[in-house]
Structure 1
């Protein structure tokens, strides 16, 4: 009986917590959308591209990688042609949105083939679903490695001149 009461109390508290945050369902929708977008890339599904607005911007890890949707799609074509692109899985994500839920912004830490990366994005809620308007990916460089990392960048950039 004691276990039944504990289980009932736990269920009631969980239900109350969800009811206390009316935005839980919307956050879940946003997380599912971004997770699916990442999964589409890892499987080179065409749906990946349908999740962008026509005016979207994608910023990659290299300083030269500031692309319009069209430029990014052209750059990534080689990955879709060979059926092997990148694989990002969220370790954690924070989701924020405007009061009318028309605009969503998020930041995330990702498991990637490059190690842990960080990213941020802006979504627009079109009324027919979410679309990616802006996404920026960056390497998460641990602070103890920063001096050697920035030195390597300086040396690389000096050779480029």
Structure 2
């Protein structure tokens, strides 16, 4: 009974501007994209959990944070980053009382690559929402999927 009462009091005391968990997680994902665009390595790595995974578009790109830092930090050090403009994002809050896990997918616009898809998992930590896994992919229209797969095979990139 006491925890129910405490939860009710906290809910009543929450400010009207309080965000939903999905909005908070979305803001953390936005912060990740913005930090990458600014080539702000410190802010970028802060958006991930320590045990996060970043899965890139190539079959070999499955990085833990130290491996991803080894790849990205030299790029950031040159003042270069990568800019993706998120749109059409869908966030799903995991069921249960913790309200601490969100999975998501989003379409992103990129100047060079066009439309790209990002998906992943964000978790609420003691330091706020962090990305635990991010997967980037190229959405391929079904009409040309066979041709794309053949080109990947020719390039020796299919694993």
Q: TM-score, normalization: structure 2?
A: 0.79
Between the aligned partners of 1:142 and 1:91, the Cα distance in structure 2 is 19
Q: Which runs of 5+ in 1 are unaligned?
A: 1-22
Tell me, what secondary structure is at the counterpart of 2:20? helix
Runs ≥4 in structure 1, deviation > 3 angstroms? none
**Which residue of structure 1 lines up, in the alignment, with residue 123 of structure 2?**
124
Does the 8 Å CA contact 1:35/1:89 hold for their aligned counterparts? no
1:134 aligns to 2:133 (yes or no): yes
CA deviations 1:113-141 (Å, max 9, x no partner) are: 31111111111101330111111100111
Tell me, what secondary structure is at the counterpart of 2:156? helix
Written as runs of structure 1 = structure 2, the 5 A alignment for 1:14-93 is 25-45=20-40, 46-93=42-89
Equivalent pairs, count:
137
**Which residue of structure 1 lines up, in the alignment, with residue 106 of structure 2?**
108
Between the aligned partners of 1:88 and 1:103, the Cα distance in structure 2 is 23
- Compare CA radii of gyration and give the structure with the larger one: 1
Between the aligned partners of 2:127 and 2:50, the Cα distance in structure 1 is 15
Does the 8 Å CA contact 2:87/2:108 hold for their aligned counterparts? yes
Q: TM-score, normalization: structure 1?
A: 0.78
Change (3 A) 1:94 1:24: farther
Pick 1 or 2: higher relative contact order, CA cutoff 8 A, min separation 6: 2
Between the aligned partners of 2:156 and 2:133, the Cα distance in structure 1 is 27
